[in-house]
Each structure stands twice: as C-alpha cells, then as structure tokens.
Chains A and B, each alone.
Chain A
Amino acid sequence: MKLRAVREGLLLVALACLPAIGEGIYFRDKISWQSSIPASELITADQARSWGDGAIWVDARPDEEFARDHVPGAFSLNEDHWNELLPQFLPNWSPEKKVVVYCSAESCNAARDVAKRLRDEAQLKNVFVLQGGWEEWVKKNR
C-alpha cells in the first residue's frame, strides 16, 4: 500500500511539472529569476550617490533603527506607520527626482515592499531599491 502511495505521489509530482513549466515560460520575462527585485529597480550605493541632490532617500527600516542612524537627509517611511509617514514624505517629492529606498541589508524585504507601494499606491516613478541596504551604504560612506 505504501509503495502504491509513493508511485502515485511520484506521478502527481511529475504531472504538476508540466503546467508549472508552461506557466514559467509564459512568465519568463515578467519575473526576476535571480533576485526578488528586478535588476532595473536595483541601484548601487555608488550610482545613488552620483545622483547627488537629484535623489531622495527613503529609509524603510523601523522607527527605532531610523532614529539610531540613517542616510543624511533620508525620510523615514516604513510600513508600520505608512499612513502617518507617507503624507510627510510626499511634499518633498518632485517628478524629476529619483527615489532610493533602503532597509537594513541585502536580505531584508522592507525596501522592496515600500518601493512597490510607492509605485502602486502613490503612483511615483523612478523608485529604486538600494542594493545591500543600509549595511552597504555604511561600508561605502563611513
């Protein structure tokens, strides 16, 4: 009976591959396969710095981490206090400026999520995520 369950299970595992591969082919250009953030939305610390005053920095980390230290001139905008912080940030934005969002490190998702909400909900363009996050910025600037 166990052998039968294994045999049937393997067959189902194999069957499920077929539509999955088909869907993967359909989405091949619509998703980033190597990073959760598409390469076109990522920016290095050096590139962001070269923008100078043309960039607005957004800190997506929790309030206490922002209070401890942050990129000079950065605005705090995290998802915990999104509704309160977004109205404080928006008046400082202008269409010609590029928005650089960062969180703690390469592995955090907060910057990606905040950047997505800025694009989708606030309809902002030119929103980028800092590669390596705050950790990388500190390495390059301190």
Chain B
Amino acid sequence: MKLFWRIVDLIVGGIFVYAGAIKALDPVQFANDIDNYKTMPWFISVRLAFYLPWLEIFCGLALIFRFLYRGGLSILTALIAVFIGATIAAKIRGLDITCGCFGHASQHWSFPQHLAVDLVILTGLLVLSFKVASGNRPQNAV
C-alpha cells in the first residue's frame, strides 16, 4: 500500500513539475494565457506568469521528495481549485480561451478535457491530503 501512495505522489508531483517547467520556459505566452481570462490587469498577470510556474515546480518537487510535503500539498490543492473555478467562470462568461496549463500541449484541448484533467488531479491531491490528515502518511515528511 505504501508503494501505491508513493506512486500517486510521484505522478501528481511530476505533473506539476512538468506543467510548471513548460510555463517557466515561456513566461510571455503564459502571461498572455492568464490575461485571456480577463480577471486581472496585465501588470498582475505578467508578474504571476513569472511566479506561478516556479511555485508549481517547487510544490511538485515537495511531493516527489517528501520535503515540505504538507505545504506543497496544500498549495497545489488551492492552486488547482482556483484554476478550476477560473476555467468554469471563463466558460460561463463565454470566453473561448486556451488554459495554458500544459503550454502548447494543451492548446487544443476542449473545455470538458480541461475540466476532466483538472478534476482528476484535484481528486489525487484531495486523496493525498486525506491520507495525511488521517495520519497514515508520510511518516518521513519534513
């Protein structure tokens, strides 16, 4: 069972490290992707575009290496929840946007595809959070 949870850590953490790295490589494009949501002015979008990818990478690494595990888990859960909310809000407002969550790889995903992937990731994070809260793991987390 321990191995199973370790694999879940690696998959979820790996997804965020990958997603963060892609965006960190092209912050200008990510700034445009954030701007497309039309929820904040450009000067905030562009600063977030430089910051959020690194936050994702560090939190993903926290899950992979079980270092600052609980903090990483909490932040990633909050990030994905906010992102799901923003995606749904954008859809309701009729904005036809690319999420930018996985760089160009996700450029042509449909809204249901975005939502499905995000919900799967959120479920993984919530399950890990539940396991931590119930005291089952991680025993060696810092």
Contact = CB atoms under 8 A, between A and B. Distances in A.
Contacts of A19: 24, 54
Interface string B55-72: 101110010000011111
Interface residues of A, number: 29
Contacts, number: 85
Nearest to B38: A107
Interface residues of B, number: 33
Given A27-B27, A33-B43, A9 B51 contact: no
Nearest to B55: A16
Nearest to A3: B70
A16 B74 contact: no
7 contacts: A6-B71, A8-B68, A8-B71, A9-B72, A16-B54, A19-B54, A36-B31
Interface of B: 24, 27-28, 31-32, 35-36, 38, 42-43, 45-47, 50-51, 53-55, 57-59, 62, 68-75, 132-133, 142
